[in-house]
Amino acid sequence: MSNERVAYAYAKSLMELAKERGQVEEVYQDFLHLKAMSDSNRDLKLVMRNPIISSEKKLNILKALYKKRGATEATMKFYEIICRKGRENILTEMAKYFVKLYQVEKSIQVAELTTTFPIDEKLRKEFKAVIAKISNAKEVQLVEKVNPELIGGYILTVNDKQLDESLSGKLKKLKSQITHNQYVKQF
């Protein structure tokens, strides 16, 4: 079984346990914290994937990371089980899947918007309203990025769909159409 499927299975099991205990929000915050730490700290990912470092040391690292902030008992027990089973190498993937499961559970749609300039609140509300209407989500989280190379327009990514309304995207499409003209015989 692939690591992605195993990570998803563990994340789903933890979601079910958190629902039973009524601690979905708390466990979500714990995994959001782990995901943020692993995204910002490459060394944490490398340590968790390193087969030379013992599972016990990895568990101690996880406990140390949550010492100040604290974590739910369910999360810490989950980490102990993961380390005992030797699956700490996919812990960051489990965090990613748990966050996605939480978003599905709470009807949160995450979308990425890339523009040539920072957008104002009015434009942000319009994009969120359109995304909420299309996805039937209760809440929309908009990840905003600025890329001046787009020349103008925007690129909106929702799940696995992308709407490229940028000037640079349209120019690339036009160039492709011109270079692959079906009516001109190529020699």
Task: Give the C-alpha separation, 59 to 142, whole Å.
Answer: 34
Task: Give the C-alpha separation, 121 to 185, whole Å.
Answer: 51
What local confidence, expressed as pLDDT, does residue 186 receive? Answer: 57
What local confidence, expressed as pLDDT, does residue 150 receive? Answer: 83
Tell me the per-residue pLDDT of 116-136, one tens digit each, with 9 for 90 and over: 889 999 999 999 998 998 888
> Where on the phi/psi map is residue 159: left (φ > 0), alpha (ψ -120 to 50), or beta?
left
Tell me the per-residue pLDDT of 9-34, one tens digit each, with 9 for 90 and over: 999 999 999 999 999 999 999 999 88
Domains, the chain, in order of start with CATH, read 3-104 (1.10.520.20), 108-179 (3.30.360)
* 86 three-state secondary structure: coil
Class of residue 113 by CB neighbours under 10 A (exposed 0-12, middle 13-18, buried 19+): buried
Query: In the predicted model, what is the mean pLDDT of the chain?
Result: 88
What local confidence, expressed as pLDDT, does residue 161 receive? Answer: 87
What local confidence, expressed as pLDDT, does residue 149 receive? Answer: 86
What local confidence, expressed as pLDDT, does residue 82 receive? Answer: 92
Please provide the DSSP assignment of 37-56 as one string. Answer: HHHH-HHHHHHHH-SSS-HH
Q: In the chain, what is the straight-line distance between the N-terminal and C-terminal CA atoms, in Å? A: 50
pTM summary value: 0.76
Is it the case that residue 184 has pLDDT exceeding 80? no
Mean of pLDDT values over 80-106: 92
Is it the case that residue 1 has pLDDT exceeding 70? no
Tell me the per-residue pLDDT of 140-156, one tens digit each, with 9 for 90 and over: 999 999 998 888 888 99
What local confidence, expressed as pLDDT, does residue 173 receive? Answer: 81
Tell me the per-residue pLDDT of 78-90, one tens digit each, with 9 for 90 and over: 999 999 999 999 9
Q: Of 100, 105, 140, which Cα lies nearest the Cα of 24?
A: 105
Task: Give the C-alpha separation, 178 to 53, whole Å.
Answer: 56
Mean of pLDDT values over 92-113: 92
> Where on the phi/psi map is residue 38: left (φ > 0), alpha (ψ -120 to 50), or beta?
alpha
Class of residue 150 by CB neighbours under 10 A (exposed 0-12, middle 13-18, buried 19+): buried
DSSP structure class, residue 51: S
Mean of pLDDT values over 175-183: 72
Which segment, 64-73, 125-134, 167-176, is predicted with the most confidence on average?
Answer: 125-134
What local confidence, expressed as pLDDT, does residue 110 receive? Answer: 92
